[in-house]
Amino acid sequence: MSLALFCVSLDFFALNLALPDMAADLHVAAGGLQWALSGYMLASGALMTAAGRLGDLFGHRRLLLFGVGLFGASSLMCGLSGSATELVAFRVLQGAGVAFVMPVGLALLTHVFDEDRRAKANGFVFGVAGVGLVLGPFVGGLLTQTVGWRSVFWLNVPFTVLSLVLASRVQLKHDASSARAVDWPGLVTVTAAIASLTVALDRGRAWGWTSGRTLGLLAAGVLLLAVFVAVESKVARPLVDLALFRNRMFVIITAGGAVASAAASVYLFGASLYLQEVRHFPAGTAGLVLLVPAVATAAAGPLAGRLGGIAPLKVMAGAGAVGGLAVLGLGLTSWLPLYVLFLAVCGGALKLSNTFTVIATQGVIRPERAGEASGVTLTAIVTAGGVGIALAGSALGAQGVTTSAVRSTLVATAVVCLVSAGILVAARLHQAHRAARTLPEAVAPVQG
């Protein structure tokens, strides 16, 4: 899982710096490769909820192997593409592979590791994935300049092969006697709903947020979600049990993680533009600066695992507050050493919140529906990250990439983070108050 998620994170963020060379080599305008990014996001985000539940039904190890294999094979084919059309098609397949790797793999960890080690395992996996996320721009730029853009994709192949070998050795019994009925109406409607919303958010800036296409896709997404809820409330074996959303802890923790994901996307997006467009750092130098939060991000994963025994709302609120203050610091400072320090704090705190979201939500649901819960949680996190980038891109596109524009974007993001942390604190206090009111007198502490 660590190897697979490292590749996924590295690949997505490495590709941005390779786009100009890819466009020149494939004889298309740089804008013509937008769907190489959008198609990947669309496939991964839209299929995660369905993939998580399918893992519960047909076996997590089996579908993890399928996802890793699909990602590795499509990475190889991306590097061999002879046209933009071929590249986009294989990128969509890459995204489909990711959709199975993430929720199914995390559910597999829930089954393989006992309760005492599960949080540490998740923390380690996300720590390694976080390194790939922040190393992506640097590695992508380096490989593109030295070996060529195709090597960005080929780099995934040996890692995925090794991941397949290791995953194939996992011994895990699957309950073959359980019903394997697939809720096809639910699968189709939720996939179409998320796909519509993803395309609208991804292309809204280019099409215009008030254009007919953008508003039509947003409306279609909302309508399809309503249909999905109606379908799930009636079928005997739903794709997503709606009772999951009546689990207050699951909903609150997932929402907090979604805010942290959006904030992380905005700060990375804003920092990359600020360093290159405002401070005029070369791509390589900007990549070196972003190595600093990579270290903090790597440390945050294992730390989240070690904090697994602490009340989730405490950890989420603390990480959100620290992350929000660090994002605020990024927006208000121009002194480079202090700016780099805030980058490190952002990387650590927001990654801690994201990782802990997955660990905590897996702890508040039944293990037999672990894939379903991880699919819903990861869909929320991935979608929120896309929303963050879309909104930040629109704000900076309207104002231009200036110091004041980047500052206002980061300050707004910090306010949202701090409000989210405040809500988590209020939820924690309410939880403690309810626990105190229901404590039987027979177990009250004896004085003296």
Looking up tokens 């949680």, which residue turns up?
377
- CA nearest neighbour of 137 among 282, 5, 260, 4: 282
DSSP H or E segment with residue 326: helix 312-332
Range ranked top by mean pLDDT from 125-129, 142-146, 416-420: 416-420
Gap between the Cα atoms of 415 and 304, Å rounded:
24
Q: Regarding predicted confidence, which is higher, 404 or 283? A: 404
Query: In Å, what is the CA distance from 239 to each residue of 120, 149, 187, 198, 371?
Result: 29, 39, 7, 20, 11
Gap between the Cα atoms of 408 and 71, Å rounded:
38
**Contact present, 60 and 172 (Cβ < 8 Å):** yes
Gap between the Cα atoms of 353 and 391, Å rounded:
21
Average pLDDT, the chain: 84
CA contacts within 13 A on the Cβ side of 64: 28
Question: What are the structure tokens assigned to 29, written together?
Answer: 């305008």
User: Within its chain, how far is the Cα of 280 from the centroid?
Assistant: 29
Amino acid at 118: R
CA contacts within 13 A on the Cβ side of 202: 19
DSSP H or E segment with residue 171: none
**CA torsion angle for 414, 417, 419, 424 (degrees, to 10)?**
-160
- Polymer length in residues for the chain: 448
**Contact present, 297 and 130 (Cβ < 8 Å):** yes
Q: Which residues contact 424 (CB under 8 A, 6 or more apart)?
A: 252, 256, 313, 316, 317, 320
**Contact present, 58 and 69 (Cβ < 8 Å):** no
| Predicted pLDDT of residue 110 | 79
Q: What is the DSSP string of 290-314?
A: THHHHHHHHHHHHHHHHTTTS-HHH
| Model confidence, pTM | 0.81
Convert the pLDDT of each residue in 68-116 to its tens digit.
Answer: 999 999 999 999 999 989 998 999 999 999 999 988 888 888 778 887 7
Q: Regarding predicted confidence, which is higher, 231 or 201? A: 231
**Contact present, 424 and 256 (Cβ < 8 Å):** yes
Looking up tokens 């990014």, which residue turns up?
37
Amino acid at 77: M
CA contacts within 13 A on the Cβ side of 14: 27
Convert the pLDDT of each residue in 309-359 to its tens digit.
Answer: 677 888 899 999 999 999 999 999 989 999 999 999 998 999 889 888 888
Q: Which residues contact 124 (CB under 8 A, 6 or more apart)?
A: 2, 301, 302, 305
Q: What is the mean pLDDT of residues 114-129?
A: 80
**Contact present, 275 and 389 (Cβ < 8 Å):** no
| Predicted pLDDT of residue 178 | 52
| Predicted pLDDT of residue 448 | 36
Question: What are the structure tokens assigned to 40, written together?
Answer: 């990947």
Helix orientation angle between 84-112 and 115-146, rounded to the nearest 10 degrees: 160
Q: What is the mean pLDDT of residues 47-56?
A: 86
User: Does 412 have pLDDT greater than 90?
Assistant: yes
Gap between the Cα atoms of 440 and 447, Å rounded:
16
User: Does 367 have pLDDT greater than 80?
Assistant: no
**Contact present, 152 and 18 (Cβ < 8 Å):** yes
Amino acid at 100: F
Convert the pLDDT of each residue in 231-272 to its tens digit.
Answer: 989 888 888 888 888 888 889 999 999 999 899 888 888 887
